[in-house]
Amino acid sequence: MKRVLAVALGMSLALPLVAQEKEQQRIKESTQVLKEILATPDRGIPKDLLDKSECVVVFPSVKKAAFVVGGSYGRGVITCRSGQDFTGKWSAPAMFALEGASIGFQIGGQATDFVLLVMNEGGANSVMSSKVKLGADASIAAGPVGRNTSAETDVVMKAQILSWSRARGVFAGISLAGSTMRSDGDGNKALYGQDLDAKQIVREGKVKAPAAALPLLSLLNRTTPKHAN
């Protein structure tokens, strides 16, 4: 009986650690995706848009979901500039989920990386809600590619969120209208050990960034340290 209890106790302690390691790996994969994209300025995200952004969302290796016809499901992270006016350092990351039938159609079922920039406070407030439908609850547009690309078009200027995709080495702007984003409560609990939503983590600063997130935050603080109003 004691042996059974010991095994049960060991499993109860091990499972949370496994779940935490899974979320830490998600952060590391997101960091690598963003690092590689930012390292290709001629084909990447325009620097002026990155400087104007208030939040960055990264979904590494989004794949077609077998349980939804034509649908896809991805998990990633969101981090925002801290402070009431988004002028502070980048926040601890919150776990985020992306899902929707339109993704599967657009990427043809291939594993794809997505990067989204939240460009204004209205967009930031929308994505901090329990669930946001892109294109309806928050306006979204395909982001322009390349350092010398003009970012002053009407579509770019008016969009609350800009989105890009990378598949098979090709990086391009893509619209995710019709898809949904939401805070990943299970992922946040696994990472931080308590029930937290994205707003509590990112905007209210309820927790400190875990060690696994420091390279991501360092990359952003180094690349775009100041918000360009």
Tokens matching residue 179: 């898809």
Question: Three-state SS for 40?
Answer: coil
| pLDDT surpasses 70 at 150 | no
Do residues 145 and 176 touch, judged by C-beta distance below 8 A? no
- Per-residue pLDDT, 175: 86
Task: Return the ∠ at Cα 204 (arms to 202 and 210), rounded to 5°.
Answer: 50
Question: Which of 31-35, 93-97, 122-126, 149-153 has the lowest average pLDDT?
Answer: 149-153
Burial bucket for residue 4 (CB in 10 Å: 0-12, 13-18, 19+): exposed
User: Would you state the pLDDT for residue 67?
Assistant: 45
CA gap 137, 133 in Å, rounded? 5
Q: What are phi and psi of 58, to 5 degrees?
A: -125, 130
Would you say how long the chain is, in residues?
229
> Does the pLDDT at position 195 exceed 90?
yes
Q: Which of 199, 216, 179 is nearest to 56 (CA)?
A: 216
To the question of pTM greater than 0.75 for the whole model, the response is: yes
Supply the mean pLDDT for the chain. Answer: 84
First to last CA, the chain: 65
Which pLDDT value is given to residue 205? 92
Pick the range with the lowest mean pLDDT from 4-8, 167-171, 224-228.
4-8
Inter-residue long-range contacts of 195-200, CB under 8 Å, 24+ positions, other chains counted: 196/94, 197/94, 197/128, 197/130, 198/78, 198/94, 198/95, 198/96, 198/127, 198/128, 199/128
